[in-house]
Amino acid sequence: MKNNLVLIGFMGTGKTSLGKLLAEKLGRGFVDIDQKIEQDAGITIPQIFEMYGEKYFRELEKKAVKEITQRRGLVIATGGGTVKDEENLRLLKDSGVIVCLTTEPEEIFRRTERRGERPVLDSDEDRLATIKKLLSERQKFYSQADYTIDTTDWSPLQIMGDICKHFRL
């Protein structure tokens, strides 16, 4: 398959780990948008947020999406907020098929509990409430995927098998 396989979904749904597994199994290149942003900037995402703010991070994210979507045959893991930009979503859709990973807010809470890694969740507000609010705001973007999988009770290998079966990969 020449098209990209793009993983979208909220923080903590396992996009990066699954993306690596899928790329290995399918013999494709793997690109993680967050990792690319960090490599290009030479600092971590929490540092980008702290030093320059979210708006600047979103600009870097847009630039990374533009570059990566020129390429084909990749597995791409996006950041949880990448697709809330309509142009990012369109470019990703035009470049391949979109798979959305989901899980329960409580599970996301457990998986993203450590502070200092996900700046959008590190406010002083109730963390679970923030997760639920962002999930509902972003639902309209996540729901545009070609295929959605609830990962709550599944291992990465099972999820990978399901995706490969669905798209006949």
Least Å distance, CB 69 to ligand S3P, is 16
Nearer to ligand S3P, 81 or 105 (CB): 81
**Does 19 participate in binding ligand S3P (rule CB under 6 A)?**
no
**Does 36 participate in binding ligand S3P (rule CB under 6 A)?**
no
Q: Pick from 6, 11, 92, 163: which binds ligand S3P (CB under 6 A)?
A: 11
**Does 31 participate in binding ligand S3P (rule CB under 6 A)?**
no
**Does 101 participate in binding ligand S3P (rule CB under 6 A)?**
no
**Does 118 participate in binding ligand S3P (rule CB under 6 A)?**
yes
d(CA 61, CA 153): 31
The single residue listed with the structure tokens 């989901």 is: 102
d(CA 155, CA 33): 23
> Which of 81, 76, 66 has its CA nearest to residue 96?
76
d(CA 165, CA 47): 39
Least Å distance, CB 2 to ligand S3P, is 26
**Does 79 participate in binding ligand S3P (rule CB under 6 A)?**
yes
Token pair for 80? 């949880």
d(CA 24, CA 125): 39
Positions touching ligand S3P (CB under 6 A) are: 11, 15, 34, 45, 79-81, 118-120
